[in-house]
Amino acid sequence: MRPDGPRPTIIGPDSGPEAPFPLRMKGKVVSGFGRGSKELGIPTANIPVEGVSWIDEAESGVYFGWAGIQLPTSHPSLSPVPPSSSTAPPEDKVAEGWRIYPMVMSIGYNPFYKNKVRSAEVHVLHKFETDFYGSEMAISILGYIRPEYDYVSVEALIEDINTDIEVSKRSLEREAWQKGREDRYLWGEE
């Protein structure tokens, strides 16, 4: 169960991410259990954990960092012109639909829902006009926020996720953490 008490409001030193970060993974966005939007009002883009070298050793919990997504060129969130704050990729990659956004994510078994398989789910800190199942997503994780907990109610889970969102935004705003969005891995390179 979640311990009582206040939570840190920012994660990691101002000088930037520390080992073992960045941790990277990528894959096509797949379906989950359909709870993110419906039950929590917080959609999560699920990506497969199979074949990710570091995942078995990674602690389950909530992480934050940057996400690159290749949206289909017909996706309404790409038009008319991308706001400069959401584009780190070079022009040709922007033309291919790649965009970079801040993200917060959970890796683990979602103890509140008692999942039997480990999942990696990314809440992108951007409002999209439609979903993007099947799109290629590449993430660079820069820090660890907290362990996953069970909760007394769905409201308590939502409240903590909303705090995670604020912590992630605040942590990534710092200059040394903004640099992370220049990682070429985020627009599909190795």
Ligand X SMILES: Cc1cc2nc3c(=O)[nH]c(=O)nc-3n(C[C@H](O)[C@H](O)[C@H](O)COP(=O)(O)O)c2cc1C
Ligand Y SMILES: Nc1ncnc2c1ncn2[C@@H]1O[C@H](COP(=O)(O)OP(=O)(O)O)[C@@H](O)[C@H]1O
Residues forming contacts to ligand X in the complex (CB under 6 A) are 32-36, 40, 44, 46, 62, 104-106, 110-113, 121, 123, 148-149, 157, 161, 164
Residue of the chain from 22, 36, 108, 111 that contacts Mg ion (CB under 5 A): 36
> Are residues 148 and 104 in contact, defined by beta-carbon separation less than 8 angstroms?
no
177 secondary structure, DSSP code: H
Residues 8-37 that bind ligand Y (CB under 6 A): 29, 31-37
Shortest reach from residue 107's CB to ligand X, in Å: 9
Shortest reach from residue 84's CB to ligand X, in Å: 26
110 binds, among ligand Y, Mg ion, ligand X, none (CB under 5 to 8 A by kind): ligand X
Shortest reach from residue 97's CB to Mg ion, in Å: 21
Residue 137 binding ligand Y, by CB under 6 A: no
Structure tokens at 174: 């710092």
Residues 45-104 that bind Mg ion (CB under 5 A): 46
Q: What DSSP string describes 90-157?
A: -HHHHHTTEEEEEEEEEEE--TTTT-SS-EEEEEESS--SS--TT-EEEEEEEEEEE-----SSHHHH
Amino acid identity at 49: V
Shortest reach from residue 11's CB to ligand Y, in Å: 20
Residue 43 binding ligand Y, by CB under 6 A: yes
CA distance 128 to 148: 26
Which phi-psi region, left, alpha or beta, contains residue 188 (left: φ > 0; alpha: ψ -120 to 50)? left
Residue 131 binding ligand Y, by CB under 6 A: yes
164 binds, among ligand Y, Mg ion, ligand X, none (CB under 5 to 8 A by kind): ligand X
Residue of the chain from 11, 23, 25, 45 that contacts ligand Y (CB under 6 A): 45
Residue of the chain from 126, 169, 170, 184 that contacts ligand Y (CB under 6 A): 126
> Are residues 69 and 133 in contact, defined by beta-carbon separation less than 8 angstroms?
no
* Number of other CB atoms surrounding residue 165 within 10 Å: 17
Catalytic residues: 121
Q: Please give the span between the terminal C-alpha atoms of the chain, in angstroms, as a whole number.
A: 39
Residue of minimal CB distance from ligand Y? Answer: 36
